[in-house]
Amino acid sequence: MGRYVARRLLQMIPVIIGTTLIIYTLVWFLPGDPFAGRCGARPCPPAYVAEMTDKYNLDDFWLIAYAKYLWSLLHGDFGETFQGLSVGEELLRAYPTTVKLALVAIAFEILIGIGAGILAGLRRGSFIDNLVLVSTLVVVSIPVFVIGSVLQLFLGMRWGIFPATVGGDASLYNLILPGFVLASLSLAYVARLTRTSLAENRRADYVRTAVAKGLPQRRVIGIHTMRNSLIPVITFIGADFGALLGGAIVTEGIFNVPGVGNLIFRSITTRDGVMVTGAVTVLVLVFLLVNLLVDLIYGWLDPRISHG
């Protein structure tokens, strides 16, 4: 197990180098003058251009510049934006909000997604089952920005049940609506996955054995069937959590959530290359770590999977 984790952590090194290289290269070769529009309506003063060119190694060959960037990254220095803001500090400010939003979304996926999936899976062909199938199909078919905007309009603005935007105050209550919107797509998948997995496992031989052992119905379903059925579901939710931690550009945009997604979106529109590269590096790292965690949980849930 320890060796498995060590191997996986070592595997992250080339992935991190690869992704940072790609992002850095893409930003580096973006067409246009990096100083365009930086100094208001006038061109930037030569002293400023010289200072910035030196600071960001703009005169170097791009691979050398990348190596210098990577070197400071290894020392924990994410660099500064053109405005002189520390990228590390900006990320640290935005990240807790994204984590909170992701947790709210995951909570919805677990409560509603698994709940609906269990109800549907236990009574296939029933009214509930059909309701779940149809409603999840509807949710899957509608783009997130439509769901987000519609819910914001009705629940947030017309009826005033939830705050329409989050703004500076990212409290859990404020994040309920964006969290639900963010969860909606995965929630539908979770419900369907749970339903299918449960229905499949109910026919399994070991469930028949559990019945033949004379176990009460709730033990047969609650312990023997459920434990196996939820393995793929938990794996899915775990992987989704990793993706959600990458920030949600659309949802954060609609509800003005000051998270990582918003930060990246703003940085891209303002051509803030340092910020984009730094943020994406962190996201990749978080995604890889969460995936490692999911794989470990998977091995613990299903003893047949061995991390030898």
Residues that bind other proteins (CB under 8 A): 203-206, 208-217, 219, 224, 227-228, 231, 301-304
Cβ closest to other proteins, residue 20 vs residue 228: 228
Task: Record the tokens describing residue 44, joined without a space.
Answer: 């930037």
Q: Least separation, in Å, of the C-beta of 69 and other proteins?
A: 46
Q: Least separation, in Å, of the C-beta of 165 and other proteins?
A: 45
Cβ closest to other proteins, residue 221 vs residue 282: 221
Cβ closest to other proteins, residue 154 vs residue 206: 206
**Residue 29 buriedness (CB in 10 A; 0-12 / 13-18 / 19+):** exposed
Cβ closest to other proteins, residue 272 vs residue 295: 295
**What is the spatial distance between Cα 202 and Cα 221, in angstroms, rounded to a whole number?**
8
The answer for 272, left when phi > 0, alpha when psi is -120 to 50, beta otherwise, is beta
**Residue 285 buriedness (CB in 10 A; 0-12 / 13-18 / 19+):** middle
Cβ partners under 8 Å of residue 208, min gap 6: none
Q: Least separation, in Å, of the C-beta of 203 and other proteins?
A: 7
Cβ closest to other proteins, residue 145 vs residue 206: 206
Cβ closest to other proteins, residue 237 vs residue 282: 237
Q: Least separation, in Å, of the C-beta of 127 and other proteins?
A: 18
Q: Between helices 226-244 and 87-108, what is the axis angle to 10°? A: 150
Q: Least separation, in Å, of the C-beta of 63 and other proteins?
A: 49
Q: Least separation, in Å, of the C-beta of 134 and other proteins?
A: 22
Q: Least separation, in Å, of the C-beta of 122 and other proteins?
A: 14
**What is the spatial distance between Cα 307 and Cα 8, in angstroms, rounded to a whole number?**
11
**What is the spatial distance between Cα 273 and Cα 270, in angstroms, rounded to a whole number?**
9
Cβ closest to other proteins, residue 3 vs residue 304: 304
Cβ closest to other proteins, residue 16 vs residue 215: 215
Cβ partners under 8 Å of residue 61, min gap 6: none
Based on its alpha-carbon atoms, the radius of gyration of the chain, rounded to whole angstroms, reads: 24
**What is the spatial distance between Cα 110 and Cα 234, in angstroms, rounded to a whole number?**
9
Cβ partners under 8 Å of residue 227, min gap 6: 301
**What is the spatial distance between Cα 274 and Cα 80, in angstroms, rounded to a whole number?**
7
Q: Least separation, in Å, of the C-beta of 190 and other proteins?
A: 20
